[in-house]
Amino acid sequence: MRSIWRTLDRSQARDVGLVCLADGIVGISFGAIAVGAGFPIWLPMLLSVIVFAGAAQFMFIGIVAAGGNPIAAVAAGILVNARHLPFGFAIGDVIGDRWSEKVIGAHLMIDESVAFTLAQRDRAKRRATYWLTGIGLFICWNLGVVVGAIGGSAVGDTDAFGLDAAFPAVLLALILPSLRDPATRRAGLAGGVIALATTPFLPAGVPVLLALAGVLVGYSTQRKTVS
């Protein structure tokens, strides 16, 4: 851990800390929403330790709470987490060579840890950034979920506090810099239109999966621009 602090400068550590704090707040909302939706208090805690993927966890809770099949909810979460495959190719060289490092490092692989890692050019900084971000997020997220689950069981009506808006707000903040790219903007717009258009007609969770087709729109328009 000391080598990590020596490798990163103060501004990088500060940025990582702010993201960890934001994720902890989102974790509070997840725990409260899950318990408020009628799930036992231990379920969001267990999901957060085993799955540790905010989007997949919110999707699972949302689909099941809306009356969807748990198997479909698990399948939706797996599809959403399929993005971790290219993530692994992109940052696999900084996780480590030992088997234990690979297993733990793969579990800590989420959007924020990958984004911070890819922003670094030096390999030593990339490795330090990945582990600091991953460990920090894991601790803050799980602590937040515990606090949220306990608080949600005491409050009861979590919808009155608007906690469901915390997660999409953080995701929006993360993707805003990427929206400067025209292809990314087109992909996001196409995905949003698909999700909104299909929501009234399809079971919960399916519109979100169909929205992934927006990536194809962005990719195809980018190829036309290049050619």
**Segment 83-124, tens digit of pLDDT:** 788 888 888 888 877 888 888 988 998 888 888 888 777 888
Report d(CA 27, CA 34) in Å as an integer: 11
Question: What pLDDT, on a 0 to 100 scale, did the predictor assign at position 66?
Answer: 76
Question: What pLDDT, on a 0 to 100 scale, did the predictor assign at position 226?
Answer: 46
Instruction: State yes or no: pLDDT of 57 exceeds 80.
Output: yes
As a whole number, the mean pLDDT across the chain is: 78
Query: Could you give the count of Cα atoms lying within 13 Å of 155 in the half-sphere of its Cβ?
Result: 22
Question: What pLDDT, on a 0 to 100 scale, did the predictor assign at position 63?
Answer: 80
Read off the pLDDT of each residue in 65-69 and give the average, rounded to a whole number.
78
CA 25 and chain centroid, separation? 13
Whether residue 109 contacts residue 84, with contact meaning beta carbons closer than 8 Å, is answered with yes
**pLDDT higher at 28 or 160:** 28
Instruction: State yes or no: pLDDT of 203 exceeds 80.
Output: no
Report which of 87, 36, 19, 27 is spatially closest to residue 58, judged by C-alpha positions: 27
Report which of 163, 167, 51, 186 is spatially closest to residue 107, judged by C-alpha positions: 51
Report d(CA 25, CA 222) in Å as an integer: 36
For the chain, what percentages of helix, strand and coil (3-state, to nearest 5) are there? Answer: 85, 0, 15
Report d(CA 106, CA 165) in Å as an integer: 28
Question: What pLDDT, on a 0 to 100 scale, did the predictor assign at position 82?
Answer: 79
Question: What pLDDT, on a 0 to 100 scale, did the predictor assign at position 54?
Answer: 80
Read off the pLDDT of each residue in 38-53 and give the average, rounded to a whole number.
90
Give just the sign of the alpha carbon dihedral 192, 193, 197, 198.
negative
**12-16, 18-22, 153-157: segment of lowest average pLDDT:** 153-157
CA 121 and chain centroid, separation? 23
Question: What pLDDT, on a 0 to 100 scale, did the predictor assign at position 42?
Answer: 92
Query: Could you give the count of Cα atoms lying within 13 Å of 179 in the half-sphere of its Cβ?
Result: 9
CB atoms inside a 10 Å sphere around CB 135: 17
Question: What pLDDT, on a 0 to 100 scale, did the predictor assign at position 62?
Answer: 79
Whether residue 213 contacts residue 190, with contact meaning beta carbons closer than 8 Å, is answered with yes
Report which of 208, 204, 173 is spatially closest to residue 192, judged by C-alpha positions: 208
Instruction: State yes or no: pLDDT of 175 exceeds 60.
Output: yes
Token digits for 200?
A: 């009234």
How would residue 70 be classed by pLDDT, with cut points 50, 70 and 90? confident
Distances (CA, A) of 76 to 4, 15, 94: 36, 31, 29
**53-57, 75-79, 175-179, 219-223: segment of lowest average pLDDT:** 219-223
Read off the pLDDT of each residue in 187-198 and give the average, rounded to a whole number.
83
